Copies of this chain bind each other. A is one copy, B any other.
Amino acid sequence: MKKLIKFQFVLLVILVIFTSTDGKTETNKIILSEQGSFAVGGTININPGSFDPYNPTTAGQTFHGDHAYVFYQIPENSRKLPIVFWHGAGQFSKTWETTPDGREGFQTIFLKRSFGVYVIDQPRRGNAGRSTVESTIKPSFDEQLLFGMFRIGIWPNYFPGVQFSRNPEALNQYFRSMTPNIGLFDTNIVTNAVSALFTKIGPAILVTHSQAGGPGWMTAIKNQNVRAIVSFEPGSGFVFPEGEVPSPMPSATGTLEGISIPVGEFEKLTKIPIILYYGDNIPEKPTKSPGEDNWRVRLAMAKLWRDVINRHGGNVTLIHLPELGIHGNTHFPFSDLNNIQIADLMSEYLHEKGLD
């Protein structure tokens, strides 16, 4: 029996090496059968009255807004399930494209690994800027704060061994990879649009980052075409069954609370494999560094969330990368210097779960 397990383990390692090597050493070519973009979901508002094309006013005109914008690429001989990539707060599709230091991001890495890829700008963000609500956008001086919140370091110092390039141009690209909300962030609007995407494209794997974590669970509850979720550093929107919400968790950046939903809704999340990845420099005990303390409670909440789902029969894995001996990751493991290693972990997981 022990021998059989050992044999299976060796087989797995070989498989993993093969998968991994495919990703790393694949020729530099990308062979696409199709690519393009579309808007999906959204609403149409109609202004009362009658439109006169020879004397136009706003009367009788329409406004299409609150859709998501999606850029997709389908490789030759693609795998069965494509991957939908959903950015975090302040970010847009760029987060999955070229990394701040100019290497391939998950969009291209997983394309080369033969997955169809769909990269989203959620409603009211980036190219999906046609918002149905009015909004005033002020440039705010926030970059040194974000350097800390995104756990690159404690400004102006980088964390020792952090997986982020010291080239100043990398930081320039990083700061320019943000774009504001155009109109309030609205969970219902963003999940409706992403659910509409899954209805349009059929079964797929959802990959979320940070703020998209919570809306990601809600999308999976809304739409059974979400066949698995890979969530990088989900930070909020942890949903729990009524009566099982954990105590609020105070931190240096505020108090994190779970969200109560009916158990029947919650249990839809037990039907699909879900994996969460967290990077480095997340302490276990309170600290006065806001960026680190912020993620302390979010990781702690995520662990409780995993436990509650799994108690209800779910299939949630939480990987805190340093526990695997993988150090230095920031809030963006998928674009960090070791993002091929992180992609390999994700490929292994998808393979284990029969999702590739």
Taking Cβ atoms with an 8 Å cutoff, the residues of A that contact B are 28-39, 42, 45, 47, 51, 53-54, 56, 58, 60-65, 67, 69, 71, 76, 92-94, 97-98, 102, 104-105, 108, 121, 126-145, 148, 154-155, 172-173, 175-180, 182-183, 288-291
Contact = CB atoms under 8 A, between A and B. Distances in A.
15 contacts: A28-B33, A29-B33, A38-B98, A38-B173, A39-B172, A39-B176, A53-B148, A58-B142, A63-B142, A64-B143, A69-B94, A92-B129, A129-B182, A130-B180, A137-B182
A194 to B, nearest CB: 15
Contact of A176 (B36, B60, B130, B175): B130
Instruction: Report whether over half of chain A's contact residues are helix, strand or loop; otherwise say mixed.
Output: loop
A129 B131 contact: no
Tallying the copies of this chain within the complex gives 2
Nearest to A37: B97
Contacts of A53: 144, 148, 154-155, 289-291
B144 A289 contact: no
A67 to B, nearest CB: 5
Given A35-B108, A130-B139, 15 more contacts: A37-B98, A38-B98, A38-B173, A39-B173, A47-B141, A53-B154, A54-B288, A54-B290, A58-B142, A62-B175, A63-B140, A63-B143, A64-B143, A127-B179, A131-B137
A97 B34 CA distance: 12
A20 to B, nearest CB: 22
Contacts of A35: 30, 108
B136 A134 contact: yes
Contacts of A58: 140-142
A51 B144 contact: yes
Nearest to A47: B141
A108 to B, nearest CB: 6
A145 B56 contact: yes
